[in-house]
């Protein structure tokens, strides 16, 4: 029941950019967060595509947030990388087993999943910046 | 951020046994839950070893709970299969990155993880039986 390492890196990258008031090069992001450079580029591309970061080309190019830190949640960034948060296979897109949802387990797990997504929705990168200071 | 399929099966198996007032054969458990027979045996062995089930050999052999349904939680069974619930690699046994715990991300994720484990601790198989009726 883990977020992937890639999602963990994505959270770190966005936290770093949320704290910065200017754009940061991919190379610096990679080095400061101990993430392989090519992997950093791959993650950055996904977050840009999802609209949470913008990139600038050229000599002074780099990355910065495309929204306010208070408008980006942990859930947003985790879902960009790992897809929709689903605690159990039966709660995902492809539905569930032959019991067809009439299952006490599913109801219980759905409740826990709702709590997880709601908690991750409540944490914004504004909160993270505050704790970093 | 999923529990494994094996942990999902384990929950189903324990729920079935919690509902039953007599022992059930591995073959029947496998069939009723749509789990491959050998995989069922593997899962049953782990739950027996952890002390939540007991097994009886012989013609009328089978499996039953070794505790009251109210004394077994979702967290217990998920952890038998998947190990300790850790939301992120940095919250696990092998500790975290070079920031050595002084990390706002870790604090936030720790809080979510604590909520998840507490929620899964609060659901017992007694609750599941009640919902099944």
Kindly list the distances between the CA atom of residue A130 and the CA atoms of B35, B88, B118, in Å, as whole numbers in the listed order: 48, 21, 26
Interface check B104 vs A, CB under 8 A: yes
The string of DSSP letters for B76-124 reads HHHHHHH-S--SSGGGSTT---TTTT--HHHHHHHHHHHHHHHHHHH-B
Q: Which helix (H) or strand (E) holds A54?
A: strand A53-56
Which chain A residues are within 8 Å of B88, Cβ to Cβ?
A: 2-3, 8
pLDDT above 70 for B43: yes
A103 and A90 Cβ atoms separated by less than 8 Å: yes
Left (φ > 0), alpha (ψ -120 to 50) or beta: where does B124 sit?
beta
Q: How far apart are CA B42 and CA B44, in angstroms?
A: 6
Global pTM exceeds 0.90: no
- Determine whether the interchain pair B89/A5 forms a contact, defined as Cβ–Cβ distance below 8 Å: yes
A32 and A68 Cβ atoms separated by less than 8 Å: no
Interface check B115 vs A, CB under 8 A: yes
pLDDT of residue B46: 98
- Determine whether the interchain pair B2/A104 forms a contact, defined as Cβ–Cβ distance below 8 Å: no
* Min Cα–Cα distance to chain B from A22, Å: 21
> Lowest mean pLDDT: which of A96-100, B29-33, B75-79?
A96-100
Span B49-69, average pLDDT? 94
A30 and A36 Cβ atoms separated by less than 8 Å: yes
Distance of CA B38 to the CA centre of its chain: 18
> Lowest mean pLDDT: which of A81-85, B73-77, B129-133?
B129-133
pLDDT of residue B102: 61
The DSSP bridge partners found for residue A73 are A124
- Determine whether the interchain pair A1/B105 forms a contact, defined as Cβ–Cβ distance below 8 Å: no
Which chain B residues are within 8 Å of A80, Cβ to Cβ?
A: none
pLDDT digits over A46-86, tens only?
999 999 999 998 887 899 999 999 999 999 999 999 999 98
pLDDT above 70 for B18: yes
pLDDT digits over A77-128, tens only?
999 999 999 888 777 666 666 565 567 788 899 999 999 999 999 999 999 9
Kindly list the distances between the CA atom of residue A30 and the CA atoms of A3, A132, B87, B128, in Å, as whole numbers in the listed order: 20, 19, 23, 47
């Amino acid at each position: 029941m883990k977020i992937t390492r890639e999602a963990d890196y994505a959270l770190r990258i966005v936290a770093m950019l949320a704290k910065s008031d200017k754009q940061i090069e991919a190379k610096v992001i990679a080095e400061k967060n101990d993430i392989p450079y090519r992997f950093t580029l791959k993650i950055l591309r996904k977050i840009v595509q999802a609209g949470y970061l913008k990139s600038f080309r050229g000599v002074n190019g780099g990355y910065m947030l495309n929204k306010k830190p208070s408008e980006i949640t942990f859930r947003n960034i985790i879902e960009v990388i790992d897809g929709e948060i689903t605690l159990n296979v039966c709660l995902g897109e492809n539905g569930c087993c032959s019991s067809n949802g009439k299952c006490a387990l599913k109801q219980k797990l759905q409740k826990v999943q709702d709590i997880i997504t709601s908690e991750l929705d409540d944490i914004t990168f504004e909160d993270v910046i505050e704790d970093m200071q």
